[in-house]
């Protein structure tokens, strides 16, 4: 694919881009987007005004050309003068004459609020915050269509990249058996020391050499690996949130298990494992979605966060040629893996901006539907009155794991989408193993946008 041709345009007008949040994912988007001659980035929104000033300065914008805008008239005048604008009031920023906004706060309530502001002001939205998208992404997409704009997943994050890989394989005429991603952190095995390291925690495991190879009984091997590595967390809430989003964009793929199989596996073992049992794998059928924990030696390439599609080797000559070219093929020769070994965050998100701004196309699907919810399951006893809060880089609510279940309307006795619990208090004790429901929480305030949007989404899609 020639991207110069794909995004060529007879118009000399640049796509005007606004960015909400200038750290993390959006940092690379801003830095590299400033170098793209098809884009203009002159609106930054953030709580830390100095950080926004520093971002512009690091990209070579002179101080006298940067304006902190607190009123609409000031902002419009500065925009017309070609200045670079900073807003700490996102609602005000959404009234400026730009084309596309990238929302990357990571806060479920805030991101839903900002996306709604943008849509109501007829701005295209690139949604980076999976926490809100997993709860109300289908409704926000519908609202965007009704307002003549596009709400899109962000290229550079796993849901959009996996959807791209699946649609690539589908258009290539391949038979897809399983899809998914590698979890965010590798399990690194040191043969000499007989240790496995995850996130800097290194544990001596003398018997691990016995399960380094899959052997003849694949299922028994991955079960034993999981047991030996039981001191490490092998399931991640963010992974599950991302895969719920993929299910809502790709209606023919479903999880095999609520908590996924999550095998600890080497990259080259994926075509052996992430396929139906009749092909030698772990799945009960075809078109399943799952996650694996990437196991590798210290001298092997990482695949943390990469995406994969496992396909059937249904033409012997084709797959023998591809195997000779380095494509990973299962030991029994029945399946193969097409994969993307990484995700490139913000500068890859530029493709979503260009796709929307120049082609009018999202880098997800046009009409996602809420098929699956990430829901909260208590992993220990929790006391009444505890404040629940999604914290840390991965926005995990302490005391609750995530699982995927078919989406349902919210009422007092049904499962609650995981991130609706953010900033809520428990109204009663919760036992380990219980699914969180709204009845277990103090009644949320009526002005909470995420709750309001989810109720509206239920009325539209889950009657």
Delimiting residues of CATH 3.40.50.720 domain(s) in the chain: 3-157+346-359
Task: Provide the pLDDT confidence category of residue 10 given band limits of 50, 70 and 90.
Answer: low
3 state DSSP class of 426 = strand
Give CA–CA dist 284/281, Å, rounded. 9
> Tokens 């884009």 belong to which residue?
39
Q: Which of 134, 83, 76, 141 is nearest to 115 (CA)?
A: 141
State the DSSP H helix or E strand holding residue 119, giving kind and residue range, or none if neither: helix 108-120
- Is residue 164 packed enough to be buried (19+ CB in 10 Å), middle (13-18) or exposed (0-12)? middle
Residue 217's contacts (CB-CB under 8 Å, 6 or more residues apart) are none
Q: Which of 158, 131, 189 is nearest to 339 (CA)?
A: 158
| pLDDT tens-digit map of 189-220 | 999 999 999 999 999 999 999 999 999 999 99
Delimiting residues of CATH 3.90.1210.10 domain(s) in the chain: 372-461
**Over 80: is that where the pLDDT of 446 sits?**
no
Q: What is the DSSP letter of 370?
A: -
pLDDT score, position 92: 98
Q: What is the mean pLDDT of residues 280-291?
A: 98
3-157+346-359 CATH pick, 3.40.50.720, 1.10.1040.10, 1.10.10.520, 3.90.320.10: 3.40.50.720
> Tokens 């109501």 belong to which residue?
120
pLDDT score, position 316: 94
Q: Tell me the residue ranges of DSSP E strands in 89-230.
A: 100-103, 124-127, 151-153, 176-182, 187-190, 195-198, 201-204
Residue 309's contacts (CB-CB under 8 Å, 6 or more residues apart) are 162, 165, 166, 169, 174, 176, 178, 179, 337, 338, 339
Kindly state the tokens that stand for 32. Answer: 């590299």
Task: Provide the pLDDT confidence category of residue 382 given band limits of 50, 70 and 90.
Answer: very high
> Interior CA angle at 18 toward 152 and 22, to 5°?
95
Q: Which of 416, 420, 394, 398 is nearest to 407 (CA)?
A: 416
Assign domain 372-461 to its CATH architecture: Alpha-Beta Complex (3.90)
pLDDT score, position 180: 98
Q: How far is CA 255 from CA 237, 243, 252, in A?
A: 15, 9, 11
| pLDDT tens-digit map of 17-63 | 999 998 888 999 999 999 999 999 999 999 999 999 999 999 999 99
Q: Tell me the residue ranges of DSSP E strands in 230-368.
A: 254-255, 264-265, 288-297, 307-312, 335-340
Task: Provide the pLDDT confidence category of residue 313 given band limits of 50, 70 and 90.
Answer: very high
pLDDT score, position 9: 78
């Amino acid at each position: 694919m020639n991207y110069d041709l794909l995004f060529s345009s007879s118009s000399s007008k640049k796509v005007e881009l606004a960015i909400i949040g200038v750290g993390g994912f959006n940092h690379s988007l801003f830095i590299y987007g400033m170098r793209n001659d098809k884009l203009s980035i002159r609106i930054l929104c953030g709580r830390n005004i100095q950080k926004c000033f520093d971002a512009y300065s690091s990209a070579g914008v002179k101080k006298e050309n940067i304006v902190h805008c607190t009123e609409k008239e000031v902002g419009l005048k500065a925009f017309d003068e070609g200045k670079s604008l900073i807003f700490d009031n996102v609602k005000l920023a959404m009234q400026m004459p730009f084309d596309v906004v990238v929302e990357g706060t990571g806060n479920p309530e805030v991101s839903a609020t900002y996306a709604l502001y943008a849509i109501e002001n007829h701005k295209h939205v690139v949604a980076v915050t999976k926490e809100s998208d997993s709860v109300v992404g289908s409704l926000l997409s519908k609202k965007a269509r009704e307002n003549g704009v596009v709400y899109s997943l962000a290229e550079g994050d796993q849901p959009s990249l996996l959807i791209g890989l699946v649609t690539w394989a589908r258009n290539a005429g391949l038979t897809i058996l399983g899809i998914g991603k590698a979890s965010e952190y590798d399990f690194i095995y040191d043969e000499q020391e007989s240790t496995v390291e995850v996130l800097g925690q290194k544990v001596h495991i003398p018997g691990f050499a016995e399960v380094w190879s899959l052997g003849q009984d694949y299922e028994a091997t991955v079960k034993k690996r999981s047991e030996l590595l039981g001191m490490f967390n092998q399931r991640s809430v963010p992974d599950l949130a991302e895969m719920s989003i993929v299910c809502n964009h790709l209606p023919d793929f479903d999880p095999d298990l609520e908590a996924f199989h999550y095998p600890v596996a080497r990259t080259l073992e994926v075509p052996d494992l992430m396929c139906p049992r009749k092909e030698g794998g772990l799945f009960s059928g075809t078109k399943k979605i799952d996650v694996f924990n990437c196991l590798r030696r210290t001298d092997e390439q990482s695949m943390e966060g990469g995406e994969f599609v496992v396909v059937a080797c249904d033409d012997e000559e084709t797959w023998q040629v591809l195997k000779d070219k380095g494509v990973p093929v299962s030991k029994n020769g029945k399946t193969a893996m097409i994969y993307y070994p990484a995700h490139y965050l913000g500068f890859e998100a530029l493709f979503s901006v260009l796709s929307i701004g120049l082609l009018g196309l999202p880098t997800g699907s046009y009409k996602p539907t809420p098929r699956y919810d990430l829901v909260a399951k208590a992993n220990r006893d929790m006391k009444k009155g505890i404040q629940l809060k999604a914290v840390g880089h991965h926005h995990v609510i302490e005391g609750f794991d995530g699982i995927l279940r078919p989406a349902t309307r919210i009422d007092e006795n049904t499962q609650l989408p995981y991130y609706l619990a953010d900033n809520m208090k428990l109204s009663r004790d919760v036992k380990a193993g219980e699914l969180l429901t709204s009845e277990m929480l103090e009644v949320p305030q009526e002005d909470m946008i995420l709750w309001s949007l989810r109720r509206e989404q239920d009325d539209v899609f889950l009657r």
